[in-house]
Amino acid sequence: MSYLRRPLIRHVAGALLALMLAPGVLAQTGRTVEVRASEFAFEPNQLRVEQDETITLKLVNAGSLSHNIHLAGADIRTETIQGGGSDTITFTAGTDGIVSFFCNVPGHKQAGMEGEIVIER
Ligand SMILES: [Cu+2]
């Protein structure tokens, strides 16, 4: 188990570093991917993007409670938005790996509001 996890952790760290560098690369917009939030899930909960691709992620709150999206380990997040609202974040996925995302309203991640961005070469 432990020896299997080491390469994965190195992968994730690389992906997070790439996302943290992203705010400097916002000139291009790339494609927009819509993620719908509700109680208590994201749809879709897995996004596939290409290495070096710039993505605009549009969070649409289709539920009745307030929700948001935080990218784990990176300072990239939407506002917390009320039902019927939306917000967008833009980032560049520079390195292959997996970055998880979640809603940080207390209890929501634990209830199922989490997903992952798979960055493919
Ligand atoms: Cu939520």
| Model pLDDT for residues 27-74, shown as the tens digit of each residue | 456 899 999 999 999 999 999 999 999 999 999 999 999 999 999 988
Query: 30 C-alpha to center of ligand 1: Å?
Result: 26
| 121 C-alpha to ligand 1 centroid (Å) | 31
Q: Which domains does the chain have, with CATH numbers?
A: 2-120 (2.60.40.420)
CA of 67 to the centre of ligand 1 (A): 4
What does the alpha-carbon distance between residue 104 and residue 25 come to, in Å, rounded to a whole number? 25
What is the structure's pLDDT at 7? 44
pLDDT of 119 higher than 60: yes
- Total length of the chain: 121
Q: What is the distance in A from the centroid of ligand 1 to the CA of 60?
A: 11
How far apart are the CA of 7 and the centre of ligand 1, in A? 31
